[in-house]
Structures are given as structure tokens and as C-alpha cells.
Structure 1
Amino acid sequence: MLRALSTGAAGLTAQQIRLDTCANNLANINTYGYKKQGVSFADLLYQEMGREGIPAERLTPPGANTPGPTPPEGSGVRVAAVSRDFRPGGLVRTNRPLDVAIQGEGFLRVLLPGGEYAYTRAGRLTVDTDGRLVTLQGYPLEPEIILPPGYQSVTLHSDGRVTIINSDRQQEEVGRLALYSFTNPAGLAARGENLYLATAASGEAAEYYPGTGSAGTLIQGCLEASNADLTTELTGLIEAQRAYQMDLRVISSADEMWSMANNLRK
């Protein structure tokens, strides 16, 4: 009974993490550049029932002369990993000049207030009071792109070049966006605000201009949608809820048996 309680509790903990993960994916179904998460499970240690003195029937396999090994007894489940899926999402056309989507691999790099670099696939950009291209949260792009005062229009080219029509109605290049790729993107650490930080597991960021090396290209006037699928996430949420209910029933049944044993009278 004690083992049944611990096994059920382990299942509750694992399914709670799965529920939270599915709920987070659903909450970000309309978040541009969001990458969904998935939960992987692993079973806990097994032990042979016979060696613990627990009665166990040893069955003789067909064609064998001796009984097989005693049946093993499991001890539950655990979450092996919560990984992030970096497959690209669909493209949503916004026709906004400062929106840019990455078609293929790569991340935009931004500079955080503490001097640390972060990486994002969310390409909704704006211009701050100093004329710098920044994210919606106000983090400037790296390398820095500054738009001079009085410009009339801006074009973000597929190869990363940023050109404007200046106050003299002449085309002028003011900088070039770069993309950054990682050997293992799944090793990136989520910071929030659609930003990721490089870790030892992800490896160092490799810088490329769009369309060169392993980097993708840029599409102006579009944003990358979340790669979370509504149907898949709802199905996973229902499965996790049902598994959670089953683990609760295991604990409830073990509690009832324990109560009966405690209330036995001679």
C-alpha cells in the first residue's frame, strides 16, 4: 500500500508537469515566434518481487523446463526532460514595414540591459527615441541599426540589408541584420519575452548574414506564428487530465485498503 501511494504520487507529479506544459503551449498559441514544449517520460527503478519476500507466481514459459524470473515491480514514472521544438511556424502577413520573419534557421540577437545577449525568432520591431531598431520590449538589435531622422520609408531585404529613403529622397543603406545559429538549439534556456539565452548545451552562437551558411532569409511584412498546434495541444491536455485522474484513483484505492487494514478487529 505504501508503494502504491508513492507510485501514484510520482505519476501525479509527472502528469502535473505535462498539464502545465500543455497549458502553456495553449496560452501561447497566438504568440509570434513561440516554440512549443514537449515532455518526455521515463520509468523509475524496477525490482524483483520474489527477493523482497512478496508472494509471486513464477510462470513457466512454453517449451521451458524451469520457471522464468520473478515478475518485476515498478515504482512509477518521472519526467526525463522538458524539451522545446524549434521547428518553424507558419508565416502571417502583416504588411507592417518593421515586421520581419525568418524563413529557415537562425535567430535575431538583442542586447539586454545587463550587457548580456539574448536571441529571438519574434521579428516585430519598432524604433526607439534614438532611432535604433528595437524589439517591442525595447531591447536593441545587435548589430545595432540606427535610422537617421527624416527618413521616409525603410526596407528590410531578404539578405539582411536595411535601406531607407532619406530626406533627400535617395536610397541609403544604414546597416545589415545578422542571424545566429546554434549547434543544438534545444539547449537554449528560455528567459521569457520570447527570448533565449545561450548555454553550454546549446553551444556558441555562429553569426551569418541571411542567406549564407546555415542561416535562413528574411521576409519583410511577415511574422512567424507559433508552432503549437491547437488540436494536438488540446488532445495532450485531455490525455494528461485523464492520466492524472487515474493516478488519483490509485492513491484513493491504496488509502481505502490502508484504512481497512487499520480498522481490522479480531
Structure 2
Amino acid sequence: MLRALSTGAAGLYAQQLRLDTCASNLANINTSGYKRQEVSFADLLYQEMGREGIPAERQVLPGAPNPGPTPPEGSGVRVAAVTRDFRPGSLIRTGQPLDAAIQGGGFFRVRLPGGEYAYTRNGRFTVDSGGRLVTEQGYPLDPEIVLPDGYRSVTLHSDGRVTIINSDRQEEEAGRLTLYSFTNPAGLAARGENLYLATAASGGAVEFQPGNGGTGALIPGCLEASNSDLTVEMTALVEAQRAYQLSLRVVGTADEMWGMANNLRK
């Protein structure tokens, strides 16, 4: 009974994490540049029942002269890893001059308030009060791009150039967007706000110009949609709910059996 309780509890923990992951994917289905998470599982230890003193018949394999070992007893399931799926999402045309989607690999780099670098696939940029190109959260791009006072219009090009029409109606380059790639993007650590931090597992960031080095080209006036699929996530959510209910029933049944054993009278 104790083993049944621990097995059920292990299943509850694993399926709770899967439920949380599916809920996060569903909540961010309309978040630009979001990359869905996946949960993978692994078996806990197996033990041969006969060696533990548990009565069990030996397995008889077809064609085998002698019975095999007694069947193993599992200890439940554990979460092996929670990984990010960095496959690209579909493109959404917005027509906004400062929106940019990355077609291919690569990330934009931003500077956080503490001076730390973070990386994102969300290319929805705006201009702050100081003329800097910033993300939706207000984090400036790195390298920093500052638009001069009095500009009339701004244009983002597929090669990363940001040009303006100045007060003299002349075209002027204000800066250039740069992309960064990683040897192992799955090793990036999620920080929140659709941002990632480099880790030892991801490797260091390698700088490339858009369209070079396999990091992809920029598509102005577009955004990359989330790669979460509503049908897939809803199906996974239902599966996780049913598995959670089954694990909960295991715990409840073990509790009932334990109660019956405690109430036995001679």
C-alpha cells in the first residue's frame, strides 16, 4: 500500500507539471514569437517481485524450456525533461514599419535593466521617449538603435538596416539590427516575458547579419506567430487530465485499503 501511494504520488506530480505546461502553451497561443514547451517522461526503478517476497508466478515465454523471472513491479513515472520546441511559427502580416519576423533561426538581443543580455524572437518594436528602439516591455535592443529628433518616417529593411527620412527629406541610416544564434537553442533558459538567457548548455551567442550565417532573414511588416497549435494543446491537456485522475484514483484506492487494514479486528 505504501508503494501504491508513492507510485500514485509520482504520477500526480508528473501529470501536474504536464498540465501546467499545456496551460502555458495555450495561454501564449497568441504571443508573438512564443515557443511551446514539451514534457518527456521516464520510468522510475523496477523491482523483481519474487526477490522482494511478493508472491508471483514466473513468466513463461513462448518456446522457452524453463520459466523466466517473476514479473517486475514499477515505481511510477518521473519528468525526464521540459524542453522548448524552437520550430518556426507562421508569419502574420501587420504592416507596421517596426515589426520584423525572423524567417529561419536567430534571435534579437536586448539589454535588461541590470546590464544582462537576453534574447527573443518577438520582433514587435516601438520607439521610446529617448528615440531608442525597444521591445514591448521597454527593453532596448543591442546594439542600440537611436532615431534622431525630427525624423519624418522610419523603414526597416530585410538586411537589418533601419533608415529614416530626416527633417531635410533625406534618407539616413539610423542603425542596423543584428541577429544571434546558438549551438544548442534548446539549452536557453526561459526568463519570462518571452525572453531567454544564454547558459552553458546553449553555448555562447554568435553574432550574424540578417541573411547570413544561417540565422535567417528579416521580413519587415510581419511578426512570427506562436508555434503552439490549439488542437494539439487541447488534446494533450485532456490526456494529462485523465492521467491525473487515474493517479488520483490509485492514491484513493491505496488509502481505502490502508483504512481497511487499520480497522481489522481479531
TM-score (norm 1): 0.98
1:120-139 correspondence runs (5 A): 120-139=120-139
The one-character-per-residue Cα deviations of 1:230-250 (angstroms, maximum 9, x if unpaired) are: 010000000000000001111
Residue 201 of structure 2 corresponds to 201
Query: Could you tell me how far apart the structure 2 residues matched to 1:165 and 1:259 are?
Result: 80
1:15-164 correspondence runs (5 A): 15-164=15-164
Give how far 1:265 is off. Answer: 2.3
Q: Which runs of 5+ in 1 are unaligned?
A: none
Q: Structure 1 segments of 4 or more deviating over 4 A? A: none
Contact 2:188 2:201 in 1 (8 A): yes
SS state at 2:163 partner: strand
Residue 10 of structure 1 corresponds to 10
Give how far 1:98 is off. Answer: 1.1
- State whether structure 2 residue 245 is matched by structure 1 residue 245: yes
Give how far 1:59 is off. Answer: 2.7
Q: Which runs of 5+ in 2 are unaligned?
A: none
Contact 2:122 2:194 in 1 (8 A): yes
Contact 2:89 2:226 in 1 (8 A): yes
SS state at 1:73 partner: strand
Give how far 1:124 is off. Answer: 0.8
Contact 2:59 2:71 in 1 (8 A): no
User: Percent identity of the aligned residues?
Assistant: 80
Contact 2:154 2:163 in 1 (8 A): yes
TM-score (norm 2): 0.98
Query: Could you tell me how far apart the structure 2 residues matched to 1:23 and 1:167 are?
Result: 49
Give how far 1:128 is off. Answer: 1.3
Query: Could you tell me how far apart the structure 1 residues matched to 2:233 and 2:135 are?
Result: 28
SS state at 1:233 partner: helix
SS state at 2:204 partner: coil
1:177-192 correspondence runs (5 A): 177-192=177-192
Give how far 1:137 is off. Answer: 1.2
Query: Could you tell me how far apart the structure 1 residues matched to 2:15 and 2:195 are?
Result: 27
SS state at 1:12 partner: helix
Give how far 1:64 is off. Answer: 2.0
The one-character-per-residue Cα deviations of 1:237-266 (angstroms, maximum 9, x if unpaired) are: 000000000011111111111122222223
Letter aligned with residue 67 of structure 1: P
Query: Could you tell me how far apart the structure 2 residues matched to 1:197 and 1:78 are?
Result: 26
